[in-house]
Homo-oligomer: A and B are copies of this chain.
Amino acid sequence: MEVSDALLNEAAKIYKVLSNSGRIKILYFLENNEADVSSIVEEVNLPQPLVSRQLAMLHQYQLVSRIKKGKHVYYKLDDPHILEMVNAMLGHVSHEIKHEPHHY
- Measured CB to CB, the residues of A under 8 A from B are 1, 3, 5-16, 18-21, 24-25, 28, 31, 60-62, 79, 81-82, 84-90, 92-94, 96-97, 100, 102-104
Q: What is the total number of copies of this protein in its complex?
A: 2
In the complex the two chains form, is B19's CB within 8 Å of A16's CB? yes
Given A8-B21, A16-B19, A21-B12, check contact A88 B85 (CB 8 Å): yes
Chain B residue numbers with a CB within 8 Å of A94 are 7
Tell me whether chain A's interface is mostly helix, strand or loop, or mixed: helix
Residue in B5, B15, B28, B62 whose CB lies within 8 Å of A89: B15
In the complex the two chains form, is B79's CB within 8 Å of A92's CB? yes
In the complex the two chains form, is B16's CB within 8 Å of A16's CB? yes
The complex places the Cα of A84 from the Cα of B19 at a distance, in Å, of: 18
Beyond A3-B90, A62-B102, A85-B88: 10 further Cβ-contacts under 8 Å? A7-B93, A7-B94, A8-B24, A8-B25, A9-B21, A11-B86, A12-B18, A12-B20, A15-B15, A60-B102
